[in-house]
Amino acid sequence: MPIEREYQDQRRKTILELLSSQPMKRQIEIGRALRKLGYKVTQSTISRDLEAMGVVRREGVYTPPPPQGDANAIGKMEEFIRRVRNAGPYMLVFDASPGMAKAVAVALKSAAWPEVVGVVAEDDTLFVATDNVYDTRLLLQRLKRLLKT
């Protein structure tokens, strides 16, 4: 079972996909579309999601914000990432190819994932801080899916 933050991220991604594919004028329309896709949502959940994602209503239609992150950038760094491991409840340590940790850090920051609070890179080591244990776990799951390790 996915953790709550991962479910929330999936739901929000789905909302953005829905708004990109068809104009919606009311939150009830968004709710119906989400329920058809299997999400259990209330109007207040939708309202909070829209606000958190920066979705605004322009000319009577909900409009998604321009994309902020590039998750593909970290995928391009796969060959330079040797290992990712936990270093306590709020930190991950990346072992990278010599001289490549800073490039991996830039790619990770450009992904703009909400779980990443801070990144510090040396020559071949990268430290990534998160807010809590759940964000650390979610970040590890994302990386495993993306890097296929």
Residues 96 and 41 in one domain: no
CA 78 centroid distance within chain: 18
Domain ranges, residue 55: 4-63
Residues 85 and 43 in one domain: no
Element (H, E) at 13: helix 4-21
Task: Look up the CATH number of the domain holding residue 28.
Answer: 1.10.10.10
Residues 59 and 90 in one domain: no
Residues 99 and 58 in one domain: no
The confidence score (pLDDT) of residue 67 equals 60
List pLDDT tens digits, range 48-83.
Answer: 999 888 888 888 999 887 666 666 777 788 889 999
List pLDDT tens digits, range 79-106.
Answer: 899 999 999 889 999 999 999 999 999 8
Residue type, 9: D
Residues 54 and 104 in one domain: no
Residues 137 and 88 in one domain: yes
Residue type, 14: T
Q: Is 23 helix (H, G, I), strand (E, B) or coil?
A: coil
Last residue of a domain, one of 34, 63, 92: 63
Lowest mean pLDDT across 32-41, 60-69, 127-136: 60-69
Nearest CA among 81, 90, 95, 147 for reference residue 117: 90
State how far the Cα of 136 lies from the Cα of 61, in Å rounded to an integer: 36
Q: Is the pLDDT of residue 2 over 60?
A: no
Residues 53 and 115 in one domain: no
The total of structural domains in the chain comes to: 2
Q: Give the DSSP per-residue string, 83-95.
A: EEEE-STTEEEEE
Residues 52 and 98 in one domain: no
